[in-house]
Amino acid sequence: MLDSLLVPTAIVALAEIGDKTQLLALILAARFRKPWPIIAGIVAATLANHAAAGAVGAWFGSFFSNAVLHWILAASFAATALWTLVPDKMDDDEASTARKFGPFLTTLIAFFLAEMGDKTQVATVMLAAQYPDLWLVIIGTTAGMLIANVPVVLAGNFAADKLPLTLIRRLAASAFFVLAIVAVYKAMQSSGWV
């Protein structure tokens, strides 16, 4: 049960370092200089986005046998590991939302939209398909987002400039590769190959 919380937290926290939503948090912190409404917006947007992603993952997982699901998860984790190695860039559309609303609503809308199809949302789908405790996965992925983004909001440029982003991306990719290997092993077990 604890794995359903701790693994998603660690995976998403690592995957989020250098991600476009972290860049968005930095831009919002510099623009508004009001960290608490920004942090509240991140929490609300991430919970909504990852709850939807988790529901899709749990639903998706119900259609396949354990063996097939683990093969799909292995391929997805391996693809996400490779995707994690590619640095994200901030889209101008996401930054322009800040002109229309205050810090909370801007963060809520921008983070929700920025997470659509993002690697952490994909990771949430995969983790929800793999782990039985859906709400723990959602809480874990949300906690991972906060671990990565709250320091950026609070410290601004200082924290982002000092982090070894390449090393962190490699660690996150390694974690996804380990999950892919575990999924392959579980798929082989479910298939009766080991």
Element (H, E) at 53: helix 35-61
Closest by CA to 140, choosing from 30, 3, 2, 8, is: 8
Q: How many CB atoms lie within 10 A of CB 33?
A: 10
Which alpha helices (DSSP H) does 62-133 contain, by range? 66-84, 92-96, 103-115, 119-130
- Is the pTM higher than 0.85? The answer reads no
d(CA 58, CA 165): 31
How many structural domains does the chain have? 1
Mean pLDDT (the chain, rounded): 84
Residues 41, 38: Cα–Cα separation, whole Å: 5
Q: What pLDDT band is residue 90 in, cutting at 50, 70 and 90?
A: low
DSSP H helices, 131-164, are: 134-155, 157-162
CA torsion sign for 9, 79, 117, 28 is positive
**Nearest Cα residue to 124 out of 145, 138, 103, 108:** 138
Q: Which domain holds residue 101?
A: 2-191
- 1-25 in b/e form (b: 16+ CB < 10 A) is eeebbebbbbbbbbbbbbbbbbbbb
31 or 50, higher pLDDT: 50
Residue labelled with tokens 């391929």: 75
Reading the block at residue 157, the tokens are 């440029």
pLDDT in tens, 68-78: 888 987 888 78
Binned at pLDDT 50, 70 and 90, residue 19 comes out as confident
